[in-house]
Homo-oligomer: A and B are copies of this chain.
Amino acid sequence: MRYNYKHTVRVAYADTDQMGVVYYGNYARFFEVARTEALRSIGIRYADLERAGVMLPVTRMHVKYIRPALYDDLLTIEVIIPAIPDRMITFEYLLFNEKGEKLVEAETQLMFMDATSRKLIHAPESVVSCFKQLK
């Protein structure tokens, strides 16, 4: 299993800083939106997971900034889920601008957590089965 999904986002003025580019900390929001939509595309709605008592805090993030994203750029974010999640779920991200230039490579690791005990848990069966049907 290796799942690929593409999501596009428009860079807002709010995302920029006085260097005239997207502030390095604001990509985290793009990653979040892209992985949420990747999960939604295979039938997993993160808001439902939370309502069922499962949270997905980020445990690691690596970002490599290659070229700056600019205001009003329409970015394509390629999200890759390289493996069926167990206790952890990994997302890789590739950001491209409209010219097809690669801007950013990133990776985040998230853990499945019980909302009440705040302890590490296995991915719920409902989540795992969404991945298994992908082949």
Within 8 A of B (CB), among A50-78: 50, 55, 57-65, 68, 71-72
Contact A33 B57 (CB under 8 A): no
Q: Say which residue of B18, B23, B59, B72 sits within 8 Å of A65 (CB atoms).
A: B59
Closest CB of chain B to A28's CB: distance in Å?
Answer: 3
Contact B62 A62 (CB under 8 A): yes
Contact A55 B19 (CB under 8 A): yes
Number of copies of this chain in the oligomer? 4
Contact B62 A61 (CB under 8 A): yes
Residues of B within 8 A of A108 (CB): 24
Closest CB of chain B to A46's CB: distance in Å?
Answer: 7
Residues of B within 8 A of A10 (CB): 33
Residues of B within 8 A of A58 (CB): 24, 65
